[in-house]
Amino acid sequence: MNPSFSSHLVNDVFGDPGLFVEVRWSKRALLFDLGHNDALGPTRLLRAGDIFISHTHMDHFIGFDALLRVALRRGKTLRLYGPPGLIANVQGKLHGYTWNLVDGYPLAIAVQEFHAHTIHSATFHATDGFLRRDAPEIPVIGHASHGSFCILEDPMFTVQAVALNHRISSFGYALQEPFHVNINKERLHEAGLPVGYWLKEVKQYLWQGKPDDFRFRATLYHEHHREEREFVLGDVRERFVTISRGQKIAYVVDARYDEENEAKIIELARSADIFYCEAPFLDQDAEKAWERYHLTARQAGLMARKAGVRELVVFHFSPRYTGLGHQIVAEAQGAFREG
C-alpha cells in the first residue's frame, strides 16, 4: 500500500516541536505547530496551507514569522487553526512590524480558534496592512466522545482535535484518511491503460462519494499519443481499485498526565498508524513533569499501548537530558511494547 500521508518531525527530538505531513496526490502539506522551522526550507513551508497550532507557548509559535516571511509575496491564504487566544496572538505578531509597502501583496491569513461550543474566525490581508476582520461566530461541529471535535473536513482527510490540560488549553490533533484507495497498476497495464493524473481524479471522485454510475471524461497520456475517454466510476472501481483502511496520524504535545487528559489522548490516538507524542521527561522526574504540565516517556508509551497504535515516535525532549535521548526513547518504547 502506498500511504497517502508521509510525515516527519520538523526538528530533531531536542528541537522545537513540529510535524510536517505531505499529502500525496496533491501538492498540499499540513503543518502541526510553528516552532523553529528553518529546517523545512521555503519550498516545504510554502506548501503548508493548513497549519494546526497546539498552543502558543514560544517553542510552538516562534516560527510564525519565518512562515509569514516566505509567504508574504505569494498569492496564497494561510489557514491557521488552534485554541482560544490564537487570533489575538496572530494579530500581536502582525502588529510587531511595519506594513506600509505591502499593499500590492496578495497574502491572506485566515485564523480559526475553537472554543468549547463556538468557532471564532478572523482574516488579515496584506493589502490593507493586515487589519483584523472578524467573522460571525459559528458552532463547533460534532463533539464526539471524550471531547474531540472536528477542525477540518476535506474530501481526502479529516482533522480532529481535543483540548488538553497544560494549565492552558493545548490541542492534540489526529489526521485521518476516511479510507485508502489503492490502484492496481498491473491490471491497468493489462487493460492497456496508462497511469497518470487521471487516477488522481478517480481518487478524488471516490473520496467525494460520487455514485457508481457517475460518468467522467479523462485525458490519458499513452507513450506516443493522448486520448480522451469516458469512464463510469463504478466500472473503474471494480476493475482497478481496492479500498482499504485509511491512514491515521496523531500528534500530542504539552499535556499533563491526569485522568482526563489520558482518556482524551487514548481516544484521539486510537489505532493510529503513527502516534507522535511529546516525552520531555524521564519517569524518574515524573513529579517535575506533573508540575510543568508535561508527560514523561513512560506515560507516552503507556498511552500509546492503550490506544493500540502501530508506531510511537517520541520527541520534544527537555534539554536537561542532552546526551541521554536514547534513554527517553528506550523508556517510551519499553512501556509501549511491554506495558
- CA of residue 158 relative to chain centroid, distance: 9
| Contact criterion met (CB below 8 Å) for 207 and 26 | no
Report how far residue 303's alpha carbon sits from residue 261's, in angstroms, rounded to the nearest whole number: 10
Q: Which stretch binds Zn ion (CB under 5 A): 49-57, 80-88, 124-132, 216-224?
A: 49-57
For residues 177 and 254, which CB has a smaller minimum distance to Zn ion in the complex?
A: 254
Please, what is the minimum distance in Å from the beta carbon of residue 294 to Zn ion? Answer: 8
CB of 79 to Zn ion, least distance (A): 22
Residue 267, classed as helix, strand or coil, is helix
**For residues 21 and 5, is the Cβ–Cβ distance under 8 A?**
yes
How far apart, in whole angstroms, are the C-alpha atoms of residue 69 and residue 5?
Answer: 26
Minimal distance in Å, beta carbon 57 to Zn ion? 3
Of 92 and 334, the one with the shorter C-beta distance to Zn ion is 92
Q: What does the block give as the cell for 36? A: 523553529
Binding mask 163-192 for Zn ion (x = CB under 5 A): ------------------------------
Which of helix, strand or coil describes residue 140? Answer: coil
- Residue with Cβ nearer Zn ion (295 or 329): 295
In whole angstroms, how close is the CB of 166 to Zn ion at the nearest point? 5
* CB of 266 closer than 8 Å to CB of 241: no
Contact between 59 and Zn ion by CB under 5 A: the answer reads yes
| Least distance to Zn ion, CB of residue 320, Å | 14
Q: Pick the closest to residue 47 from 65, 64, 63, 70 (CA basis).
A: 70
The contact mask relative to Zn ion for 148-167 (x = CB under 5 A, - = no) is --------------------
57 or 132: CB nearest Zn ion: 57
57 binds Zn ion (CB under 5 A): yes
Piece of 54-62, 140-148, 182-190, 199-207 that binds Zn ion (CB under 5 A): 54-62
Is residue 331 a contact point for Zn ion (CB under 5 A)? no
d(CA 39, CA 51): 17
Size of the site for Zn ion (CB under 5 A): 3
- Which residue number is nearest to Zn ion in terms of Cβ? 57
Closer residue to Zn ion in complex, CB, 248/294 = 294
DSSP 61: T
DSSP string, 216-229: EEEEEE-SS-EEEE
State the nearest-atom distance from the C-beta of 120 to Zn ion, in Å: 21
Q: Which is nearer to Zn ion, 83 or 246 (CB)?
A: 83
Q: Residue 267 interacts with Zn ion (CB under 5 A)?
A: no
Choose, by CB under 5 A, the member of 33, 177, 254, 273 that binds Zn ion. Answer: 254
CB nearer to Zn ion: pick between 60 and 203? 60
From CA 249, how far away is CA 187, in angstroms rounded?
Answer: 30
- For residue 17, the minimal CB distance to Zn ion (Å) is 6
Kindly state whether residue 16 participates in binding Zn ion, applying the rule CB under 5 A: no
The beta strands (E) that lie in the chain are given as 5-9, 19-23, 29-32, 48-52, 77-82, 108-114, 118-125, 132-139, 149-153, 158-165, 169-176, 179-183, 215-221, 226-232, 241-245, 248-252, 274-278, 311-315
Which residues are at the interface with Zn ion (CB under 5 A)? 57, 59, 254
